[in-house]
Chain A
Amino acid sequence: MNKIILTQRGAPYEMAAEDRAEIEHSLHHYDDPRAASIDALKVIQRRHGWVPNNAIREIALILQIPDSDVEGVATFYNRIYRSPVGRHVITVCDSIGCFLTGFEEVYAALQQRLGIKPGQTTSDNRFTLIPTCCLGACDRGPVLMINDDTYFNLTVDQLDALLEKYA
């Protein structure tokens, strides 16, 4: 994820009308607007793949909380990305259940095929690779997710076909 961040802090963020509407709608789910901060970050991330700097301020304005609070939340949670990611994000479970069923071999093969290390993005911007903790399917490990899709019982020889599905 060692990309140059193109959007500069200070440049106004043009929030899409439907994104704003969705964030404003989620305020109704809670007794305090701040509670919508994670929902709001997810809405922005769905549009860009990550959360650009100047969107933080815009969210803060909607929720009426300091920018630093939104930033604090954005940097705490591992599924909110504060730097650009590839078109598809691969999250590989590296917890003990998958360790016992051999995720390390699959993980190494994946890194080799993509030519990147965990935390990096391929040069064609297609994939970002990130380790994650238990995905709640330890009976069917090794497990990984590509975007919102979960794959179970992975073996090294399935990897090529799997990656092919994501252009």
Chain B
Amino acid sequence: MSSNVTRPAFSCSEVNRGLTNIGPETHPLTWRYSTHGQSILDIKTYEAMEGYAALRKALTEMKPADVQAEIKASGLRGRGGAGFPTGVKWSLIPMGPDAGAKYMVCNADEMEPGTFKDRMLMETNPHQLVESMIVSAYAIQAKRAYIFLRGEYIEAAERLNAAIQEAHAAGYLGENILGSGWGVDLMVHTGAGRYICGEETALINSLEGRRANPRSKPPFPQIAGLWGRPTIVNNVETVSNVPAILLRGADWFKGLSQGLSGDAGTKLYGVSGRVKHPGLWELPIGITCRELLYNHAGGMREGLEMVTWLPGGASTDFLMPEHLDLAMDYDTIMKNGSRLGTGLIMVVDNRHNIVSVVRNLEQFFARESCGWCTPCRDGLPWTVKLLQSIEAGQGQAGDLETLDQMTRFLGPGKTFCALAPGAMEPLQSALKFFRPEFEKGIAAADSQQSGNSFR
């Protein structure tokens, strides 16, 4: 396996292209990278840019309950896809002297197709995540913290491990941090593939060295998680907001959305597909997709038209051009039949056949199913087969109705985790918006009668 090939030159997503006036007051997640002009890899540079100031403040001026209260008041919601209020999640963790061992876990598995935001945060600013994890661990009084990082993120692993070493040497990790009497250790655990590891209970099983099947809930991880102990799992982007909230306050964080949304803070938005300038932008939560796509990503490439878009990953419902003016926040996108998901949009242009697009999506889900629940394990490969025959113009009468049925049989509440319902979101919305495209793939009735059934 070894090779003497030199590693390809490091390359990062384009971040905040075209944005001006980037600073700590407006861009808590990316201002350091954007103003420094390159990744912040050494602790001195990070410290010179307010680095570890929030940790110092938390450990010297705030009790764990104060940190939790500030996060709750800030309105921060989980950026891993579900949008669950972070402060509420934290408040479910048992506190007090009898609470025993607890764990803080960062979900850095980032495998939702279309998503590349956590990679950027870790590659450009590893100390920011390290500080965020230490402060979050303090808030819940965890004895140990883990970053569950997907194995393919080689640079992120190297950079995080180097940052952890520097943080140890500087007294920010280990025992008695900053003389507070409290201490924690932080470890990077690298995975070995499989999308399902991102589901938080599957992630816990994986971290325990088991197959990454999700767990039946309840109990939720806040009560019984890693090794049966109370555990918080938060996404990279979620925890990365924590230090800035402690430094500048919950009210400042709420104001970041500039009244565009009832949600608080900024969001890392991204655009991919055949647009002029794909990339990532940190913007007030609640900007419209139109602004993101046309003002920031430059619109479609020459000669292409947008047909439909996915607002936040493979497991979100398609939205249409008429939805471009919706605020990209959790509640608005939900009310309009989809989910914000990870907030990184994918644009489908007019050169694509929508049936092929959906077939590709369902192939992904079919392959990544962990196999525990029958509807998911058997329904997804069946869905793929139906889509393949429709794509080839050989669908049979009743196939679309079978697909409709799948969206119910694999829908919410039928399986142990959200993979199967997530897989049905693009399918059900495509069947709703593009039904004639699917109908075109149903072979004419007479060719079916003439024995065209050997599939």
Contact = CB atoms under 8 A, between A and B. Distances in A.
Interface of A: 29-32, 34-38, 41-42, 45-46, 49, 63, 69, 72-73, 76-80, 87-89, 91, 94-97, 99-101, 132-141, 145, 147-152, 165-167
A23 to B, nearest CB: 12
Interface stretch (B48-56, B105-113, B170-178, B447-455): B105-113
Contacts of A136: 110-111, 115-116, 118-119, 150, 152-153
A139 B279 contact: yes
B5 interface: yes
Chain A binding surface SS class:
mixed
Interface in B333-351: 344, 346-349
Contacts of B193: 77-80, 132
Contacts of B435: none
Contacts of B112: 134
Contacts of B230: none
A42 to B, nearest CB: 7
B262 to A, nearest CB: 29
Interface of B: 1, 3, 5, 7-8, 11, 13-14, 101, 110-116, 118-119, 144, 150-154, 187, 189-195, 206-212, 227, 270-274, 278-280, 310, 314, 344, 346-349, 352, 357, 360-361, 363-364, 367-368
Contacts of A152: 11
B346 A138 contact: yes
Contacts of B189: 29
B274 to A, nearest CB: 6
A118 B115 CA distance: 24
Nearest to B117: A136
B152 A135 contact: yes
Contacts of A99: 357, 360
Contacts of B352: 100
B360 A96 contact: yes
Nearest to B363: A94
A147 B349 CA distance: 32
A145 B278 CA distance: 20
Contact of B151 (A31, A76, A79, A133): A79
A37 B189 CA distance: 12
A79 B352 CA distance: 31
B3 A150 contact: no
25 contacts: A34-B208, A35-B207, A35-B208, A36-B209, A69-B210, A77-B192, A77-B212, A96-B364, A97-B114, A97-B272, A100-B357, A101-B272, A133-B111, A133-B367, A134-B113, A136-B110, A136-B116, A137-B13, A137-B119, A138-B272, A139-B116, A140-B278, A147-B1, A148-B7, A150-B154
